[in-house]
């Protein structure tokens, strides 16, 4: 179970870390997503910071278990919010969301299964 926990946590951390980077460097893809969801672009840095905090929190969970659990839970909530933003505008482009959501749910499940 330890190998599964470590692998899933690292994959989720890498995925969310890459997403955070795209938000923080003002990459065109997240800008287009913000426009499509009719969200203000001024939210991009904060969304990037939230993703980065979740990504780092997952890794910190190796040393401080509760922090990893809270980070994984926070990322799951983040992506539930992203789903709401998609559905609010009638977007059916949910493949990317599903990959991120499944990854963070897997990280939370692996964390809870291993630690608690």
pLDDT at 27 over 90: yes
Position 72 scores a pLDDT of: 97
Number of structural domains, the chain? 1
Task: Give the domain extent around 46.
Answer: 2-115
d(CA 4, CA 87): 32
pTM over 0.75: yes
d(CA 29, CA 104): 21
Q: Average pLDDT over the chain, rounded to whole?
A: 96
Nearest to 56 by CA among 21, 81, 95, 100: 21
Give me the residue label for tokens 């749910």.
105
d(CA 12, CA 68): 12
Q: Count of residues for the chain?
A: 116
6-17 pLDDT, tens digit each = 999 999 999 999
| Token pair listed for 91 | 């977007």
| Token pair listed for 16 | 């969310």
Q: What percent of the chain has pLDDT over 90?
A: 95
d(CA 116, CA 113): 6
pLDDT at 115 over 90: no
Task: Determine contact, residues 50/78, Cβ cutoff 8 Å.
Answer: yes
75-109 pLDDT, tens digit each = 999 999 999 999 999 999 899 999 999 999 999 99
């Amino acid at each position: 179970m330890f190998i599964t926990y470590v692998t899933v946590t690292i994959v989720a951390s890498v995925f969310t870390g890459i997403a955070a980077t795209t938000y923080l460097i003002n990459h065109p893809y997240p800008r287009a997503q913000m426009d499509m969801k009719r969200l203000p672009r001024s939210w991009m840095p904060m969304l990037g910071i939230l993703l980065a905090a979740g990504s780092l929190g997952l890794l910190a969970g190796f040393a401080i278990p509760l922090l990893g659990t809270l980070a994984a839970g926070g990322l799951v909530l983040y992506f539930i919010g992203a789903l709401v933003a998609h559905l609010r505008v009638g977007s059916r482009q949910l493949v990317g969301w599903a990959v991120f959501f499944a990854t963070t749910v897997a990280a939370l499940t692996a964390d809870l299964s291993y630690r608690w």
